[in-house]
Each structure stands twice: as structure tokens, then as C-alpha cells.
Amino acid sequence: MANSGLQLLGYFLALGGWIGIISTTALPQWKQSSYAGDAIITAVGLYEGLWMSCASQSTGQVQCKIFDSMLSLDIHIQTCRALMVVSVLLGFIGIIVSVVGMKCTKVGDNNPATKTRIAMTGGALFLLAGATVVLLHLPHVHILDNDDSRLVNLYEFGSALFVGWAAASLTVLGGSLLCCSCSKEDMRGQQYYRQSQPSTAREYV
């Protein structure tokens, strides 16, 4: 029961992290405008994400423009797009595989050791999904060069990056719990099951 509870906890943590990864991919606030100096007075905030750039006015009106051509984008945005989509797909596959492998479900093989291996595979997929987001955000945090004095709009970390870091942490933690919840007793029980099954079958015949 303890392992089943640990698997459920890891699964729901990873599921929440996966939803956060999807939100990070869709949010436009990967970088946002920052204004240095008290003399600058502006009513417009600028945001830029992987798919669009937006301008938010003080009246609450937000105008967004979707990037027209993918090939004309910078290489780091194209890389971020690809890796975030890969992370979402890995998390989706991990959700399906983990459901099949968890002890609290009756889906798939009734063999405890086989379900244990499947659950570990789902946890490993969650680990890969979270690690992809972490490795993506560290080198590809794109900020403008704020040392340029000619720039009026200075850019800093957007809220989507913080959501992505939190989501990646939850996904990695959930995948780790799924992998660690598999005990050695299940593997030993499977070996005993394989050794005892042929003799039982012969006695029945």
C-alpha cells in the first residue's frame, strides 16, 4: 500500500508538472519589457513568447501578433519550440505508460514485476520531459543586451519562465517518485512466480 500511495503521489505531481509545461509553451511572457530610470513613463508593456509577441496597455487592452514565418525566426526560438513540443509529447506518453504500470490500476498485465517495469518506464519518461525543460531554459533564456544605452525597452525574465521551472521541478519529482516506488520485493516475487508456475501447471494437468 505504501508503494501504491507513493506511485499515486508521483503520478499526480508529474501530471501537474506536465500541465504546467503545456502552459509554459503557450504563454507569451517568456520575456517582458522592463524600464530602468524614473524618467521613463509608459503605458505599454511588451511581451514575447515562442509563438507570438504582445503589447499590453494600461487600459487592459492586449494586442498580440502571431509570428508569420517559422523560418525567419531566430534559431534559439525554433530550438525552444521543438524542445518544448518534445517535452509535452514525452509527458503525454509518460501519463499513459504510468497508468498502465501503477499497482492501483488493473490495466495491462497482472504480473507485478511487469507492471513495476512499466511504471519505472513512465517515471523515466517524466524525468526526460522535466529535464528537457530545465536544460532548455538554462541556455536559451533570451534577454536583450541591457548594456546598450540606446535601448528604451529593456527586457527581463517573463513569468512563463518561472512557471516552466516550477513545472519541470514537479515533473522531475513525480518521475523520481514513480521510479523509486518500485520495490525489490516485486522483482523477487516475480522470480518466485516464474519458478512456481510450471510445477503448478503440471500438477493441474
pLDDT bracket for residue 151 (50, 70, 90): very low
Spatial neighbors of 32 by CB under 8 A, at least 6 apart, are 45, 46, 47, 48, 155, 156, 157, 158, 159
Locate the domains of the chain by residue range: 2-29+70-192
CA distances 103 to 89, 111, 136, 181, 202, Å, are: 24, 10, 33, 10, 29
Residues 57-75: pLDDT tens digits?
A: 777 777 888 887 777 777 8
Length of the chain equals 205
User: C-alpha cell of 166?
Assistant: 516550477
User: C-alpha cell of 101?
Assistant: 504500470
Distance, C-alpha 122 to centroid of its chain: 13
pLDDT bracket for residue 56 (50, 70, 90): confident
pTM: 0.75
Query: What pairs with residue 70 in β-bridges?
Result: none
Res 68: pLDDT = 77
Q: Is the pLDDT of residue 199 over 50?
A: no
Res 200: pLDDT = 45
The CATH fold assigned to 2-29+70-192 is Butyryl-CoA Dehydrogenase, subunit A; domain 3 (1.20.140)
Q: Is the pLDDT of residue 18 over 50?
A: yes
Q: Among 36-40, 99-103, 158-162, where is mean pLDDT lowest?
A: 36-40
Summarize the confidence of residues 132-159 as an average pLDDT.
60
